[in-house]
Amino acid sequence: MIRYALSCDQDHGFEAWFGSSSDYDDQAARGLVECPFCGSTAVRKQVMAPAVSGTKKTAPSTDALKPEALKQMQSMMMQAAQQVRAHVEQNFDYVGDAFAREARDIHEGRSEKREIYGEATPAEVKKLRDDGVPCAPLPSLPPDPKKAN
Q: Decide if 36 is inside a domain.
A: yes
Q: Decide if 26 is inside a domain.
A: yes
According to the model, what pLDDT value does residue 23 have? Answer: 86
Over the range 79-117, which residues count as b (16 or more CB within 10 Å of their CB) and which as e? eeeeeeeeebeeeeeebeeebbebbbebbeeeeeeeebb
**Could you tell me which residues are beta bridge partners of residue 13?**
7
pLDDT-based confidence at 137, cuts 50/70/90? confident
| Parent domain of 110 | 79-131
Q: Decide if 25 is inside a domain.
A: yes
Q: Report the number of distinct structural domains present in the chain.
A: 2
pLDDT-based confidence at 128, cuts 50/70/90? very high
Residue 148, pLDDT above cutoff 60: no
Residue 44 near residue 33 (C-beta atoms within 8 A): no
- What stretch of H or E contains 120? none
CA distances from 132 to 54, 65, 127 (A): 35, 39, 9
pLDDT-based confidence at 114, cuts 50/70/90? very high
Residue 56, pLDDT above cutoff 70: no
